Chains A and B, each alone.
Chain A
Amino acid sequence: MQLKVENLEVSYDKIKALHGISFSIDQGEIVTIIGANGAGKSTTLRALSRMVPSGHDSKIEFMGNDVLKYSADKVVSKLGISHVPEGRMIFGNLSVNENLSLATFARKDKKQIEKDRKWVFDLFPRLFERKDQAAGTLSGGEQQMLAVGRAYMSGRKMMLLDEPSMGLAPILMLDMFDALKEINKLGTTILLVEQNARLALKFAERGYVLENGHLVLQGDADDLLNNPDVKKAYLGA
Protein backbone atom coordinates (compact mmCIF):
# COMPACT_ATOMS: atom_id res chain seq x y z
CA MET A 1 0.00 0.00 0.00
CA GLN A 2 1.50 3.32 -1.05
CA LEU A 3 -1.03 5.72 0.41
CA LYS A 4 -3.17 4.99 3.42
CA VAL A 5 -5.71 7.53 4.62
CA GLU A 6 -7.59 6.93 7.85
CA ASN A 7 -10.37 8.99 9.35
CA LEU A 8 -9.50 12.11 7.36
CA GLU A 9 -11.39 15.11 8.68
CA VAL A 10 -11.22 18.64 7.34
CA SER A 11 -13.17 21.65 8.56
CA TYR A 12 -13.44 25.12 7.11
CA ASP A 13 -14.04 27.37 10.11
CA LYS A 14 -16.73 25.41 11.97
CA ILE A 15 -18.16 23.60 8.96
CA LYS A 16 -16.98 20.07 8.35
CA ALA A 17 -16.12 19.33 4.74
CA LEU A 18 -14.84 15.78 5.30
CA HIS A 19 -16.31 13.54 8.00
CA GLY A 20 -13.48 11.09 8.56
CA ILE A 21 -12.98 9.28 5.28
CA SER A 22 -10.63 6.32 4.86
CA PHE A 23 -9.15 4.89 1.69
CA SER A 24 -5.93 3.44 0.37
CA ILE A 25 -4.07 3.32 -2.92
CA ASP A 26 -1.43 0.92 -4.18
CA GLN A 27 1.71 1.86 -6.03
CA GLY A 28 1.05 2.44 -9.73
CA GLU A 29 -2.75 2.42 -9.50
CA ILE A 30 -5.12 4.83 -11.15
CA VAL A 31 -7.85 5.67 -8.67
CA THR A 32 -10.65 8.19 -8.94
CA ILE A 33 -12.91 9.88 -6.46
CA ILE A 34 -16.16 10.98 -8.03
CA GLY A 35 -18.89 13.07 -6.52
CA ALA A 36 -21.06 16.11 -6.96
CA ASN A 37 -19.98 19.68 -6.62
CA GLY A 38 -19.19 20.40 -2.96
CA ALA A 39 -18.92 16.75 -1.93
CA GLY A 40 -15.37 17.33 -0.68
CA LYS A 41 -13.31 16.05 -3.60
CA SER A 42 -10.98 19.03 -3.86
CA THR A 43 -10.76 19.19 -0.08
CA THR A 44 -9.51 15.61 -0.01
CA LEU A 45 -6.68 16.43 -2.41
CA ARG A 46 -5.86 19.64 -0.57
CA ALA A 47 -5.60 17.73 2.69
CA LEU A 48 -3.25 15.20 1.07
CA SER A 49 -0.98 17.94 -0.24
CA ARG A 50 -1.23 19.83 3.08
CA MET A 51 -2.79 22.93 1.61
CA VAL A 52 -5.46 22.69 4.30
CA PRO A 53 -4.99 21.37 7.84
CA SER A 54 -6.49 18.01 8.80
CA GLY A 55 -8.28 17.02 12.02
CA HIS A 56 -6.37 15.77 15.06
CA ASP A 57 -7.37 12.14 14.67
CA SER A 58 -6.66 11.99 10.95
CA LYS A 59 -3.89 9.81 9.62
CA ILE A 60 -2.23 10.00 6.23
CA GLU A 61 0.60 7.62 5.55
CA PHE A 62 2.59 7.69 2.33
CA MET A 63 5.24 5.00 1.80
CA GLY A 64 5.72 4.73 5.51
CA ASN A 65 5.92 8.49 6.11
CA ASP A 66 3.46 10.45 8.22
CA VAL A 67 2.31 13.03 5.68
CA LEU A 68 0.80 15.26 8.36
CA LYS A 69 4.30 15.95 9.66
CA TYR A 70 5.28 17.54 6.33
CA SER A 71 4.61 21.07 5.09
CA ALA A 72 3.00 21.60 1.69
CA ASP A 73 6.29 22.22 -0.10
CA LYS A 74 7.96 19.19 1.51
CA VAL A 75 5.08 16.91 0.47
CA VAL A 76 6.15 17.74 -3.07
CA SER A 77 9.92 17.92 -2.70
CA LYS A 78 10.51 15.16 -0.14
CA LEU A 79 7.60 12.74 -0.62
CA GLY A 80 7.15 13.20 -4.36
CA ILE A 81 3.42 13.86 -4.32
CA SER A 82 2.49 16.43 -6.95
CA HIS A 83 -0.82 18.23 -7.20
CA VAL A 84 -2.56 19.65 -10.24
CA PRO A 85 -4.89 22.01 -8.42
CA GLU A 86 -8.40 23.08 -9.22
CA GLY A 87 -8.32 25.95 -11.69
CA ARG A 88 -4.77 24.94 -12.70
CA MET A 89 -3.06 27.80 -10.85
CA ILE A 90 -0.59 28.48 -13.62
CA PHE A 91 1.80 31.37 -13.02
CA GLY A 92 0.60 33.60 -15.81
CA ASN A 93 3.44 36.10 -15.49
CA LEU A 94 6.10 33.40 -15.98
CA SER A 95 6.93 31.82 -19.31
CA VAL A 96 5.89 28.23 -20.02
CA ASN A 97 9.47 27.10 -19.56
CA GLU A 98 9.82 29.02 -16.30
CA ASN A 99 6.66 27.39 -14.98
CA LEU A 100 8.30 24.02 -15.58
CA SER A 101 11.59 25.15 -14.07
CA LEU A 102 9.93 26.49 -10.95
CA ALA A 103 8.48 23.04 -10.33
CA THR A 104 12.04 21.71 -10.03
CA PHE A 105 13.03 24.36 -7.48
CA ALA A 106 13.99 21.84 -4.80
CA ARG A 107 15.53 19.29 -7.14
CA LYS A 108 19.29 18.96 -7.51
CA ASP A 109 19.50 16.34 -10.30
CA LYS A 110 20.16 18.73 -13.17
CA LYS A 111 20.57 16.13 -15.90
CA GLN A 112 17.37 14.32 -15.02
CA ILE A 113 15.51 17.65 -14.91
CA GLU A 114 16.47 18.34 -18.52
CA LYS A 115 15.41 14.82 -19.53
CA ASP A 116 12.07 15.33 -17.78
CA ARG A 117 11.61 18.66 -19.50
CA LYS A 118 12.23 17.06 -22.85
CA TRP A 119 9.79 14.28 -22.00
CA VAL A 120 7.09 16.81 -21.12
CA PHE A 121 7.71 18.70 -24.35
CA ASP A 122 7.48 15.42 -26.28
CA LEU A 123 4.24 14.57 -24.54
CA PHE A 124 2.79 18.06 -25.14
CA PRO A 125 4.39 19.47 -28.29
CA ARG A 126 2.12 22.51 -28.02
CA LEU A 127 4.00 23.53 -24.89
CA PHE A 128 7.31 23.34 -26.70
CA GLU A 129 6.00 25.62 -29.44
CA ARG A 130 5.04 28.15 -26.79
CA LYS A 131 7.82 27.65 -24.29
CA ASP A 132 8.95 31.27 -24.22
CA GLN A 133 5.46 32.70 -24.15
CA ALA A 134 3.93 34.02 -20.93
CA ALA A 135 1.81 31.20 -19.54
CA GLY A 136 -1.11 33.59 -19.07
CA THR A 137 -1.50 33.80 -22.84
CA LEU A 138 -2.10 30.05 -23.25
CA SER A 139 -5.53 28.63 -24.01
CA GLY A 140 -7.36 26.67 -21.33
CA GLY A 141 -6.29 23.32 -22.75
CA GLU A 142 -2.67 24.39 -23.00
CA GLN A 143 -2.75 25.67 -19.44
CA GLN A 144 -4.02 22.29 -18.34
CA MET A 145 -1.16 20.60 -20.20
CA LEU A 146 1.25 22.94 -18.48
CA ALA A 147 -0.26 22.19 -15.07
CA VAL A 148 0.17 18.47 -15.66
CA GLY A 149 3.67 18.89 -17.07
CA ARG A 150 4.61 21.04 -14.12
CA ALA A 151 3.32 18.45 -11.68
CA TYR A 152 5.30 15.77 -13.52
CA MET A 153 8.46 17.86 -13.05
CA SER A 154 7.86 18.49 -9.36
CA GLY A 155 7.16 15.04 -7.95
CA ARG A 156 6.92 11.66 -9.55
CA LYS A 157 5.65 9.12 -7.05
CA MET A 158 2.02 10.16 -6.98
CA MET A 159 0.04 12.76 -8.88
CA LEU A 160 -3.14 14.28 -7.51
CA LEU A 161 -5.37 15.71 -10.21
CA ASP A 162 -8.28 18.03 -9.54
CA GLU A 163 -10.76 18.06 -12.44
CA PRO A 164 -8.25 17.94 -15.28
CA SER A 165 -11.11 17.75 -17.78
CA MET A 166 -12.73 20.97 -16.65
CA GLY A 167 -13.20 23.48 -19.43
CA LEU A 168 -11.65 21.26 -22.09
CA ALA A 169 -13.18 20.42 -25.45
CA PRO A 170 -14.07 16.69 -25.62
CA ILE A 171 -11.24 15.87 -28.00
CA LEU A 172 -8.71 17.60 -25.74
CA MET A 173 -10.11 15.73 -22.76
CA LEU A 174 -9.28 12.41 -24.38
CA ASP A 175 -5.80 13.63 -25.28
CA MET A 176 -5.31 14.72 -21.71
CA PHE A 177 -6.30 11.31 -20.34
CA ASP A 178 -4.00 9.61 -22.85
CA ALA A 179 -1.17 11.76 -21.57
CA LEU A 180 -2.01 10.81 -17.99
CA LYS A 181 -1.88 7.14 -18.98
CA GLU A 182 1.63 7.72 -20.32
CA ILE A 183 2.67 9.30 -17.04
CA ASN A 184 1.13 6.38 -15.15
CA LYS A 185 3.04 3.88 -17.31
CA LEU A 186 6.30 5.35 -16.00
CA GLY A 187 5.25 4.38 -12.49
CA THR A 188 3.40 7.42 -11.18
CA THR A 189 0.35 6.57 -9.09
CA ILE A 190 -2.63 8.69 -10.07
CA LEU A 191 -5.44 9.92 -7.85
CA LEU A 192 -8.01 11.79 -9.86
CA VAL A 193 -11.09 13.63 -8.66
CA GLU A 194 -13.71 14.39 -11.27
CA GLN A 195 -17.23 15.61 -11.72
CA ASN A 196 -17.24 13.96 -15.11
CA ALA A 197 -17.83 10.52 -13.57
CA ARG A 198 -18.16 8.55 -16.78
CA LEU A 199 -14.84 9.78 -18.12
CA ALA A 200 -13.12 9.25 -14.78
CA LEU A 201 -14.44 5.70 -14.30
CA LYS A 202 -13.45 4.73 -17.82
CA PHE A 203 -9.95 5.96 -17.18
CA ALA A 204 -9.42 4.65 -13.65
CA GLU A 205 -9.02 1.12 -12.32
CA ARG A 206 -10.80 1.74 -9.04
CA GLY A 207 -13.13 4.37 -7.76
CA TYR A 208 -14.68 5.89 -4.67
CA VAL A 209 -17.90 7.85 -4.45
CA LEU A 210 -17.90 10.85 -2.15
CA GLU A 211 -21.16 12.36 -0.88
CA ASN A 212 -21.31 15.27 1.54
CA GLY A 213 -17.96 14.46 3.02
CA HIS A 214 -18.57 10.71 3.38
CA LEU A 215 -17.24 7.92 1.19
CA VAL A 216 -20.41 5.98 0.39
CA LEU A 217 -19.27 3.50 -2.25
CA GLN A 218 -16.12 1.97 -3.54
CA GLY A 219 -15.12 -0.67 -6.03
CA ASP A 220 -13.65 -1.50 -9.40
CA ALA A 221 -14.30 1.20 -11.93
CA ASP A 222 -16.24 -1.16 -14.19
CA ASP A 223 -18.50 -2.23 -11.34
CA LEU A 224 -19.18 1.37 -10.41
CA LEU A 225 -19.98 2.19 -14.03
CA ASN A 226 -22.65 -0.51 -13.93
CA ASN A 227 -23.90 0.21 -10.43
CA PRO A 228 -27.52 1.39 -10.68
CA ASP A 229 -27.14 4.01 -7.93
CA VAL A 230 -24.05 5.48 -9.53
CA LYS A 231 -25.74 5.41 -12.92
CA LYS A 232 -28.71 7.28 -11.59
CA ALA A 233 -26.82 9.86 -9.56
CA TYR A 234 -23.70 10.52 -11.59
CA LEU A 235 -23.98 9.11 -15.07
CA GLY A 236 -27.32 10.61 -15.97
CA ALA A 237 -28.84 7.31 -17.07
Chain B
Amino acid sequence: MEYFLQNLINALQWGSFYAVISIGYSMVYSILMLFNFAHGDIFMVGTYIGCGIATLFLSLFSAFLPGWLIFILTIVVTMFLTSFVGVFVEEVGYRPLRQAPRASAAITGLMIGIIFETGNLIILGAQRFKFPALIKSVAYHKGGLYFTNVKIMIVGISILLMLALHVFIKKTKWGMAMRAMSFDSLAVPLMGVSINVIAPLTFAIGAGLASVAGILYGQAYPILDPYMGILLGWKAFVAAILGGRGSIMGAAMAGYMLGFIEIFVAMIFPSTFRDLIAYSIILLILTFRPRGFFGMEHSIRLRL
Protein backbone atom coordinates (compact mmCIF):
# COMPACT_ATOMS: atom_id res chain seq x y z
CA MET B 1 0.00 0.00 0.00
CA GLU B 2 2.74 2.42 0.94
CA TYR B 3 4.61 1.38 -2.13
CA PHE B 4 1.51 2.13 -4.18
CA LEU B 5 1.01 5.58 -2.61
CA GLN B 6 4.66 6.35 -3.08
CA ASN B 7 4.33 5.62 -6.76
CA LEU B 8 1.13 7.60 -6.94
CA ILE B 9 3.00 10.70 -5.78
CA ASN B 10 5.69 10.11 -8.38
CA ALA B 11 3.06 9.56 -11.05
CA LEU B 12 1.37 12.82 -10.19
CA GLN B 13 4.64 14.69 -10.60
CA TRP B 14 5.51 12.93 -13.84
CA GLY B 15 2.01 13.36 -15.20
CA SER B 16 2.11 17.08 -14.42
CA PHE B 17 4.89 17.60 -16.95
CA TYR B 18 2.98 15.73 -19.64
CA ALA B 19 -0.27 17.49 -18.83
CA VAL B 20 1.09 21.02 -18.94
CA ILE B 21 3.04 20.40 -22.15
CA SER B 22 0.28 18.51 -23.95
CA ILE B 23 -2.15 21.39 -23.41
CA GLY B 24 0.02 23.40 -25.80
CA TYR B 25 -0.54 20.83 -28.54
CA SER B 26 -4.26 20.69 -27.93
CA MET B 27 -4.84 24.44 -27.85
CA VAL B 28 -3.12 24.98 -31.17
CA TYR B 29 -4.89 22.02 -32.72
CA SER B 30 -8.27 23.18 -31.52
CA ILE B 31 -8.01 26.54 -33.29
CA LEU B 32 -5.85 25.81 -36.35
CA MET B 33 -6.33 22.06 -36.87
CA LEU B 34 -2.59 21.55 -36.91
CA PHE B 35 -0.18 19.94 -34.50
CA ASN B 36 2.74 22.14 -33.65
CA PHE B 37 5.54 19.60 -33.83
CA ALA B 38 8.03 22.22 -32.65
CA HIS B 39 6.28 22.27 -29.27
CA GLY B 40 8.66 19.83 -27.58
CA ASP B 41 11.57 22.01 -28.62
CA ILE B 42 9.75 25.14 -27.48
CA PHE B 43 9.63 23.38 -24.12
CA MET B 44 13.40 22.87 -24.36
CA VAL B 45 14.03 26.52 -25.25
CA GLY B 46 11.75 27.58 -22.40
CA THR B 47 13.69 25.41 -19.98
CA TYR B 48 16.97 27.02 -21.06
CA ILE B 49 15.47 30.49 -20.81
CA GLY B 50 14.20 29.57 -17.35
CA CYS B 51 17.64 28.28 -16.41
CA GLY B 52 19.26 31.51 -17.55
CA ILE B 53 16.73 33.69 -15.78
CA ALA B 54 16.94 31.65 -12.59
CA THR B 55 20.74 31.85 -12.56
CA LEU B 56 20.63 35.58 -13.21
CA PHE B 57 17.98 36.31 -10.59
CA LEU B 58 19.72 34.17 -7.98
CA SER B 59 22.96 36.08 -8.46
CA LEU B 60 21.19 39.45 -8.41
CA PHE B 61 18.52 39.06 -5.77
CA SER B 62 19.38 36.17 -3.47
CA ALA B 63 20.97 38.54 -0.95
CA PHE B 64 17.76 40.36 -0.19
CA LEU B 65 14.78 38.49 -1.64
CA PRO B 66 13.32 35.25 -0.26
CA GLY B 67 13.70 32.12 -2.39
CA TRP B 68 10.01 31.67 -3.17
CA LEU B 69 9.79 35.21 -4.52
CA ILE B 70 12.76 34.62 -6.84
CA PHE B 71 11.05 31.40 -7.92
CA ILE B 72 7.82 33.21 -8.79
CA LEU B 73 9.71 36.01 -10.54
CA THR B 74 11.58 33.40 -12.58
CA ILE B 75 8.32 31.75 -13.62
CA VAL B 76 6.67 35.03 -14.63
CA VAL B 77 9.64 36.39 -16.59
CA THR B 78 10.33 33.03 -18.27
CA MET B 79 6.70 32.64 -19.32
CA PHE B 80 6.77 36.12 -20.77
CA LEU B 81 9.98 35.59 -22.73
CA THR B 82 9.11 32.10 -23.96
CA SER B 83 5.69 33.23 -25.14
CA PHE B 84 7.55 35.26 -27.78
CA VAL B 85 9.18 32.06 -28.98
CA GLY B 86 5.69 30.70 -29.53
CA VAL B 87 4.61 33.86 -31.37
CA PHE B 88 7.75 33.67 -33.50
CA VAL B 89 7.07 30.05 -34.46
CA GLU B 90 3.50 30.91 -35.46
CA GLU B 91 4.32 34.02 -37.45
CA VAL B 92 7.44 32.80 -39.22
CA GLY B 93 6.75 29.09 -39.43
CA TYR B 94 3.04 28.48 -39.71
CA ARG B 95 1.33 31.69 -40.82
CA PRO B 96 2.67 31.57 -44.40
CA LEU B 97 1.29 28.02 -44.58
CA ARG B 98 -2.29 28.66 -43.43
CA GLN B 99 -3.71 27.61 -46.79
CA ALA B 100 -1.04 24.99 -47.50
CA PRO B 101 -1.59 21.25 -47.02
CA ARG B 102 -1.31 20.27 -43.38
CA ALA B 103 1.63 17.99 -44.11
CA SER B 104 3.71 21.06 -45.07
CA ALA B 105 2.96 22.60 -41.70
CA ALA B 106 3.86 19.37 -39.91
CA ILE B 107 7.21 19.20 -41.69
CA THR B 108 7.84 22.87 -40.94
CA GLY B 109 7.23 22.19 -37.26
CA LEU B 110 9.75 19.36 -37.24
CA MET B 111 12.30 21.56 -39.03
CA ILE B 112 11.82 24.41 -36.57
CA GLY B 113 12.45 21.88 -33.81
CA ILE B 114 15.72 20.79 -35.39
CA ILE B 115 16.74 24.43 -35.84
CA PHE B 116 16.13 25.06 -32.14
CA GLU B 117 18.13 21.99 -31.12
CA THR B 118 21.12 22.66 -33.34
CA GLY B 119 20.90 26.41 -32.73
CA ASN B 120 21.16 25.72 -29.04
CA LEU B 121 24.27 23.57 -29.65
CA ILE B 122 25.88 26.29 -31.76
CA ILE B 123 25.17 29.10 -29.31
CA LEU B 124 25.72 27.34 -26.00
CA GLY B 125 28.07 24.53 -27.02
CA ALA B 126 27.97 20.93 -25.91
CA GLN B 127 28.38 21.61 -22.21
CA ARG B 128 25.52 20.47 -20.02
CA PHE B 129 23.82 23.17 -18.03
CA LYS B 130 22.56 22.63 -14.54
CA PHE B 131 19.27 24.21 -13.55
CA PRO B 132 19.85 25.96 -10.20
CA ALA B 133 17.64 24.83 -7.32
CA LEU B 134 15.22 27.66 -6.64
CA ILE B 135 13.51 25.99 -3.73
CA LYS B 136 15.46 24.40 -0.97
CA SER B 137 14.38 20.79 -1.05
CA VAL B 138 12.85 19.55 2.18
CA ALA B 139 12.06 15.86 2.53
CA TYR B 140 9.13 14.56 4.53
CA HIS B 141 8.63 11.10 5.93
CA LYS B 142 5.07 10.32 6.86
CA GLY B 143 4.00 6.80 7.66
CA GLY B 144 6.58 5.24 5.40
CA LEU B 145 5.90 7.68 2.57
CA TYR B 146 8.70 9.79 1.29
CA PHE B 147 8.11 13.02 -0.57
CA THR B 148 9.67 16.44 -0.97
CA ASN B 149 8.24 19.93 -1.00
CA VAL B 150 9.49 20.22 -4.59
CA LYS B 151 7.19 17.40 -5.69
CA ILE B 152 4.18 18.97 -4.03
CA MET B 153 5.04 22.31 -5.55
CA ILE B 154 5.37 20.84 -9.05
CA VAL B 155 1.93 19.25 -8.87
CA GLY B 156 0.40 22.29 -7.18
CA ILE B 157 1.70 24.84 -9.67
CA SER B 158 0.73 22.65 -12.64
CA ILE B 159 -2.84 22.30 -11.44
CA LEU B 160 -3.02 25.99 -10.59
CA LEU B 161 -1.88 26.91 -14.10
CA MET B 162 -4.41 24.61 -15.71
CA LEU B 163 -7.19 26.11 -13.62
CA ALA B 164 -6.05 29.60 -14.58
CA LEU B 165 -6.13 28.59 -18.23
CA HIS B 166 -9.60 27.16 -17.79
CA VAL B 167 -10.85 30.45 -16.36
CA PHE B 168 -9.14 32.40 -19.14
CA ILE B 169 -10.82 30.31 -21.82
CA LYS B 170 -14.24 30.42 -20.18
CA LYS B 171 -14.34 34.04 -19.03
CA THR B 172 -12.31 36.31 -21.29
CA LYS B 173 -13.13 37.51 -24.77
CA TRP B 174 -9.90 36.01 -26.10
CA GLY B 175 -10.84 32.67 -24.63
CA MET B 176 -14.27 33.04 -26.19
CA ALA B 177 -12.69 33.71 -29.57
CA MET B 178 -10.55 30.58 -29.16
CA ARG B 179 -13.62 28.49 -28.42
CA ALA B 180 -15.37 30.00 -31.41
CA MET B 181 -12.40 29.15 -33.63
CA SER B 182 -12.43 25.59 -32.42
CA PHE B 183 -16.03 25.37 -33.62
CA ASP B 184 -15.78 27.15 -36.96
CA SER B 185 -12.68 29.13 -37.84
CA LEU B 186 -14.15 30.41 -41.14
CA ALA B 187 -16.85 32.44 -39.43
CA VAL B 188 -14.55 34.03 -36.85
CA PRO B 189 -13.24 36.89 -39.05
CA LEU B 190 -16.86 37.84 -39.78
CA MET B 191 -17.13 38.76 -36.10
CA GLY B 192 -14.35 41.31 -36.51
CA VAL B 193 -11.88 38.96 -34.82
CA SER B 194 -8.47 38.71 -36.44
CA ILE B 195 -7.08 35.18 -36.68
CA ASN B 196 -3.67 36.84 -36.69
CA VAL B 197 -4.35 37.88 -33.11
CA ILE B 198 -5.88 34.68 -31.80
CA ALA B 199 -3.37 32.29 -33.40
CA PRO B 200 -0.21 33.92 -31.99
CA LEU B 201 -1.93 34.34 -28.62
CA THR B 202 -2.65 30.62 -28.56
CA PHE B 203 0.94 29.77 -29.42
CA ALA B 204 2.13 32.23 -26.78
CA ILE B 205 0.03 30.58 -24.07
CA GLY B 206 1.15 27.10 -25.11
CA ALA B 207 4.80 28.17 -25.08
CA GLY B 208 4.43 29.97 -21.77
CA LEU B 209 2.92 26.87 -20.17
CA ALA B 210 5.67 24.67 -21.64
CA SER B 211 8.31 26.98 -20.17
CA VAL B 212 6.82 26.62 -16.70
CA ALA B 213 6.83 22.86 -17.19
CA GLY B 214 10.51 23.33 -18.07
CA ILE B 215 11.28 25.24 -14.87
CA LEU B 216 9.47 22.63 -12.79
CA TYR B 217 11.24 19.87 -14.69
CA GLY B 218 14.53 21.62 -13.97
CA GLN B 219 13.75 21.54 -10.27
CA ALA B 220 13.23 17.79 -10.37
CA TYR B 221 15.82 16.84 -13.04
CA PRO B 222 18.34 19.66 -13.16
CA ILE B 223 20.62 18.52 -16.01
CA LEU B 224 19.60 20.12 -19.32
CA ASP B 225 20.52 19.14 -22.83
CA PRO B 226 19.38 20.39 -26.23
CA TYR B 227 17.51 17.19 -27.04
CA MET B 228 15.53 17.02 -23.82
CA GLY B 229 12.39 18.27 -25.57
CA ILE B 230 12.14 15.48 -28.10
CA LEU B 231 11.04 12.52 -25.99
CA LEU B 232 8.99 14.59 -23.56
CA GLY B 233 7.44 16.48 -26.45
CA TRP B 234 6.43 13.32 -28.30
CA LYS B 235 4.99 11.79 -25.18
CA ALA B 236 2.99 14.93 -24.48
CA PHE B 237 1.80 14.73 -28.08
CA VAL B 238 0.62 11.19 -27.39
CA ALA B 239 -1.27 12.58 -24.40
CA ALA B 240 -2.89 15.19 -26.62
CA ILE B 241 -4.06 12.46 -29.01
CA LEU B 242 -5.20 10.23 -26.18
CA GLY B 243 -7.15 13.08 -24.61
CA GLY B 244 -8.89 13.77 -27.90
CA ARG B 245 -7.60 16.14 -30.56
CA GLY B 246 -8.26 19.71 -29.58
CA SER B 247 -9.59 18.95 -26.11
CA ILE B 248 -7.65 20.85 -23.45
CA MET B 249 -9.31 19.06 -20.59
CA GLY B 250 -8.66 15.75 -22.33
CA ALA B 251 -5.00 16.59 -22.83
CA ALA B 252 -4.54 17.40 -19.16
CA MET B 253 -6.26 14.22 -18.02
CA ALA B 254 -4.44 12.07 -20.53
CA GLY B 255 -1.16 13.67 -19.46
CA TYR B 256 -1.72 12.47 -15.92
CA MET B 257 -2.90 9.10 -17.14
CA LEU B 258 0.28 8.71 -19.15
CA GLY B 259 2.30 9.53 -16.05
CA PHE B 260 0.40 6.91 -14.09
CA ILE B 261 0.76 4.22 -16.72
CA GLU B 262 4.48 4.81 -17.08
CA ILE B 263 5.19 4.84 -13.36
CA PHE B 264 3.02 1.83 -12.58
CA VAL B 265 4.38 -0.21 -15.44
CA ALA B 266 7.84 0.50 -14.06
CA MET B 267 6.59 -0.56 -10.64
CA ILE B 268 5.59 -4.00 -11.86
CA PHE B 269 7.96 -4.72 -14.72
CA PRO B 270 11.67 -4.06 -15.16
CA SER B 271 12.03 -0.36 -15.92
CA THR B 272 13.70 -1.03 -19.28
CA PHE B 273 10.31 -2.33 -20.48
CA ARG B 274 8.55 0.76 -19.30
CA ASP B 275 7.93 2.58 -22.57
CA LEU B 276 7.33 -0.60 -24.55
CA ILE B 277 4.54 -1.74 -22.28
CA ALA B 278 3.14 1.71 -21.47
CA TYR B 279 2.79 2.68 -25.11
CA SER B 280 1.39 -0.69 -26.09
CA ILE B 281 -1.37 -0.03 -23.60
CA ILE B 282 -2.00 3.37 -25.16
CA LEU B 283 -1.99 1.89 -28.64
CA LEU B 284 -4.60 -0.57 -27.43
CA ILE B 285 -6.77 2.22 -26.01
CA LEU B 286 -6.56 4.17 -29.26
CA THR B 287 -7.46 1.08 -31.26
CA PHE B 288 -10.79 0.93 -29.49
CA ARG B 289 -11.27 4.67 -29.07
CA PRO B 290 -9.43 6.37 -31.92
CA ARG B 291 -10.79 9.82 -31.17
CA GLY B 292 -9.42 9.75 -27.63
CA PHE B 293 -11.33 10.57 -24.48
CA PHE B 294 -12.91 13.91 -25.36
CA GLY B 295 -12.29 14.25 -29.08
CA MET B 296 -15.15 15.45 -31.23
CA GLU B 297 -16.71 12.91 -33.51
CA HIS B 298 -15.88 15.05 -36.53
CA SER B 299 -12.21 15.34 -35.75
CA ILE B 300 -11.86 11.66 -36.52
CA ARG B 301 -10.78 12.54 -40.05
CA LEU B 302 -7.13 12.82 -39.29
CA ARG B 303 -5.54 16.04 -40.33
CA LEU B 304 -1.98 16.31 -39.21
Interface residues of A (CB under 8 A from B): 49-51, 71-74, 76-77, 82-83, 85, 89, 91-94, 98, 101-107, 150, 154-155
Contacts and interface: CB of A to CB of B under 8 A. Distances in A.
A105 B198 CA distance: 11
B194 A73 contact: yes
Nearest 5 CB-CB pairs, A to B?
A: A72-B189, A77-B192, A89-B187, A76-B192, A106-B192
Contacts, number: 72
A51 B177 contact: no
Interface string B181-209: 01110111111111110000000000000
B187 A91 contact: yes
Contacts of B187: 85, 89, 91
A72 B196 CA distance: 11
B180 interface: yes
Given A105-B173, A105-B191, 20 more contacts: A51-B186, A71-B194, A72-B189, A73-B190, A73-B191, A73-B193, A73-B195, A76-B192, A82-B190, A91-B184, A92-B183, A93-B182, A93-B183, A94-B176, A94-B179, A94-B180, A101-B176, A102-B177, A103-B192, A105-B192
16 contacts: A51-B189, A72-B189, A73-B191, A74-B192, A76-B192, A83-B190, A89-B184, A89-B186, A89-B187, A91-B184, A102-B177, A103-B191, A105-B177, A105-B191, A154-B191, A155-B192
A76 B192 CA distance: 5
Looking at chain B's contact residues, is the secondary structure mostly helix, strand, loop, or mixed?
A: helix
A105 to B, nearest CB: 5
Contacts of B193: 73, 102, 105-106
Contacts of A73: 188-195
A94 B192 CA distance: 17
Tell which of B179, B180, B182, B186 has the most Cβ of chain A within 10 Å. Answer: B180
Contacts of B176: 94, 98, 101-102
A154 B190 contact: yes
B173 A76 contact: no
Contacts of A106: 192-193
Contacts of B180: 91, 93-94, 102
Nearest to B197: A73
Given A93-B183, A102-B173, A102-B180, A154 B192 contact: yes
B190 A89 contact: yes
A150 B188 CA distance: 12
A136 B181 CA distance: 15
A106 B186 CA distance: 17
Residue of B183, B184, B190, B195 contacting most chain A CB atoms (<10 Å): B190
A76 B190 contact: yes
A211 B156 CA distance: 64
